[in-house]
Structures are given as structure tokens and as C-alpha cells.
Amino acid sequence: MTTATLLLWALALGMGLVARRRGDDSLREGVRAGLHTLRRTLLLMVVAFVIVGYVEVLAPQALVQDWIGPGSGWRGLVVAEAVGWILPGGPYVAFPLIATLYRAGAGLGPILAMITSWLMLGLISVGFELPFMGWRFTAIRWGMGVAMPLAVGGLAQWLLG
């Protein structure tokens, strides 16, 4: 069991104790809401982990190292940023995929550029952002944010690489 898993269990148990001490339906409602979320996302997580498995088996290590490896330079950062734009889903989908690429030989700079790009520029978020914030806001955010993954990855390569 990892430290993160132990921390999450401790947090869940602590919150369960607080809910139980309230003396109302908070404990039961919290468990019910958690199970509802699990039912909604379980299929997505299973499919995501199957995709991660296929990427791990099918992604040629030489190709990963060539395109986004430690020696890929600025080209690797640009490719990693583009991959970050199109990464699907939430953290339970993106991070296993990114970790698989890292284990396959991707460099630290490109991986940081990919994560930063996914967080700041992920295309999946644009579909939610546009209706609420509008085109102008989205274009400004993207225009200002497009350089950040390259800066993060480049700085990592310069300092650590």
C-alpha cells in the first residue's frame, strides 16, 4: 500500500468519524454519495486502465525516447505539450498514461510540459469553459497559457537535465 493510499484511508476514516458523531444521516449519505460516484466512473476507469495497459505494451520505447525522451530538446517539449492538449479525462485517466510514458523513457522536461499542458490547456475542458466563459476569455487564457508548458519543461531540462 502506498503512502497516498494510506493517507486517503485515514482521511476517509476521519471524515467518517466526524459524520458519525454528528448523529444524523451524514455517515450513510456520505457512503451513498461515494458509491454513486464510483458507479458513475467505474467503467471509465476500467477502460482507461486497459488503455494504459495497451500503451505500456504497444508503445515502442525507442519511439517514446526519440520523440519525448531526455535528449529530445525543444521538439520533445512541443510534442509533449500537444499530447497534453489531447489527453482525455481526469487525473485517474491522464496520470496513469503519463506515468506509462515516463517509464517508457520520456524525459522529465517533456513529462512536466505534458502535465502542465493537460492541466492548463486540455481540449476536454474547452467544451465546459466556452458555454460559461465565452470565446474571448477562452482565447485569452489559451493565448497566455500556451507558453507555460514549454517554460516549465524547458526550465526542468535546463536545471535538472
Residue 25 shares a structural domain with residue 88: no
Residue 92 shares a structural domain with residue 31: no
Q: Give me the tens of pLDDT residue by residue for the chain, a chain 161 residues long.
A: 789 889 999 999 999 999 999 989 999 999 999 999 899 888 888 888 888 888 888 888 888 999 999 999 999 999 999 999 998 878 878 898 999 999 999 999 999 999 999 999 988 888 888 889 999 999 999 899 999 999 999 999 999 87
Of 75, 69, 82, 74, the closest CA to residue 146 belongs to 82
Residue 30 shares a structural domain with residue 87: no
Residue 31 shares a structural domain with residue 91: no
The three three-digit cell numbers of residue 68, written as one number: 519525448
Residue 73 shares a structural domain with residue 123: yes
Give the count of domains, the chain.
2
Radius of gyration for the alpha carbons in the chain, expressed in angstroms and rounded: 19
Q: Is residue 53 part of a domain?
A: no
Residue 90 shares a structural domain with residue 135: yes
Q: Is residue 150 part of a domain?
A: yes
Q: Is residue 71 part of a domain?
A: yes
Q: Is residue 52 part of a domain?
A: no
Residue 37 shares a structural domain with residue 106: no
Q: Is residue 54 part of a domain?
A: no
The three three-digit cell numbers of residue 136, written as one number: 474571448
Identity of residue 16: G
Residue 65 shares a structural domain with residue 24: no
Residue 92 shares a structural domain with residue 122: yes
Residue 26 shares a structural domain with residue 81: no
Residue 72 shares a structural domain with residue 134: yes
Tell me the residue ranges of DSSP E strands in the chain: none
Residue 128: predicted pLDDT: 82
Which residues constitute the domain of residue 74?
59-160
Q: Is residue 142 part of a domain?
A: yes
Q: Is residue 113 part of a domain?
A: yes
Of 102, 122, 121, the closest CA to residue 112 belongs to 102
Kindly give, in sequence order, each residue whose CB lies less than 8 Å from that of residue 122, ignoring residues fewer than 6 positions away: 84, 85, 87
Q: Is residue 41 part of a domain?
A: yes
